[in-house]
Amino acid sequence: MNSEERHHLHEHELGKLAVKTQTVLEKHGIAIAAAFAAVLLALIVGGWWTMSASNATAAHWTELAAAGTSEEFGAVADKLKGTAPGYWARLREGELVLDEALPKMFSDREAGLADMKRCQTAFQEVLDAGSAAPEPVRERALFGLARVLESTSNGDTEPAIKTWQRLVTEFPTSIYKTYSEQRIKALETGSGKEFYAWFSKQNPKPPEFRRPQDGLPGAAGGFDLDKAFGLPPSPGAAGAKPPADTTPEAPADDKKIPDTEKPAEAAKPETPAPEKTTPDAEKPAPEKPAAEKPADEKPPADEKPADKPE
């Protein structure tokens, strides 16, 4: 068969295929077009759904990353319940509350037990979700729950031992495996049970704090502060002496203020003192007679001059 014959045969086969295709399109064209449109619509909707779910998941993880306190993680867990970010938020809530509850068991038993119940509920919620919760979340929830059951044990350590053993069984390669086995051995001994039996009976309470009064009258402990700073006791403080009577006493006679120190009184006009009468002996001597007049003075007219000698 030469090339020309093959060319004619090929054209003949294509012609037959074209005729068949035309016939099929004429009969089922509408159905084929509808099916094609349905497939295209499904692809569009699927792409939009995937994109929306991806955006929503990203927003959920953003909310989880923004949380910082146990209350904030609890709010995120309530909002995103049933999602992976929601389970992580519930786990972090329980872990933060447990970190606060353990020290309180030694200082404020009532508050510590209340926090223990709260974190136990959070861990149990994660474990009840089963495979819906991520595997690392369930592993850490088992570790937290075992710590809670051990800390609140009243001598019956079986619940805590079972939880530690469950952690080892379900997660044989867990980083908590070695520690879990150590806790199982410690709780199976009599000393471990005796300790928690004794510990559960303790009831430590926080100390009572008094508001500082800053040394005001009636302040409790003000005397200690005054003593520490070398000051006299504050009025009303323990050990402080009552204030002395500050009413001034009348001065003694010998300590009276002299008249000279009294304020000067208004000046009064002076009255001449009456002349004293002195006796004759005390009278002043009579004045001496005046000196005789010189000789050249003329004698009085009634006196005659003396006779001259002959």
Is the per-residue pLDDT at 12 higher than 80?
A: no
* Sequence ranges of the domains in the chain: 7-63, 70-200
Report pLDDT digits (tens) over 170-180: 999 999 999 99
Region 24-48: what's the mean pLDDT? 64
pLDDT in the model for residue 310: 41
Is the per-residue pLDDT at 221 higher than 50?
A: no
For the chain, the helix, strand and coil percentages under 3-state DSSP, each to the nearest 5: 60, 0, 40
Region 121-126: what's the mean pLDDT? 96
Region 60-71: what's the mean pLDDT? 91
Which range among 41-55, 112-126, 199-213 shows the weakest confidence by mean pLDDT? 41-55
pLDDT in the model for residue 121: 96
Is the per-residue pLDDT at 26 higher than 60?
A: yes
Question: Can you name the CATH fold of 70-200?
Answer: 1.25.40
Single pTM value for the model? 0.55
Taking CA atoms, 68 is separated from 96, 125, 205, in Å, by 10, 20, 29
Higher pLDDT, 152 or 37: 152
pLDDT in the model for residue 257: 53
- The structure tokens listed for 176 are 């908590």
Confidence band for 272, pLDDT divided at 50, 70 and 90? low
What are the residues whose beta carbons fall under 8 Å from the beta carbon of 225, sequence distance 6 or more? 215, 234
Is the per-residue pLDDT at 262 higher than 80?
A: no
Confidence band for 207, pLDDT divided at 50, 70 and 90? confident
Helix pair 177-188, 190-200: axis angle to 10 deg: 80
Is the per-residue pLDDT at 11 higher than 80?
A: no
Report how far residue 157's alpha carbon sits from residue 173's, in angstroms, rounded to the nearest whole number.
24
Q: Give how far the C-alpha of residue 184 lies from the chain's centroid of Cα atoms, to the nearest Å.
A: 40
Higher pLDDT, 18 or 75: 75
Report how far residue 110's alpha carbon sits from residue 71's, in angstroms, rounded to the nearest whole number.
20
Is the per-residue pLDDT at 92 higher than 90?
A: yes
Q: Please give the mean pLDDT across all residues of the chain.
A: 75
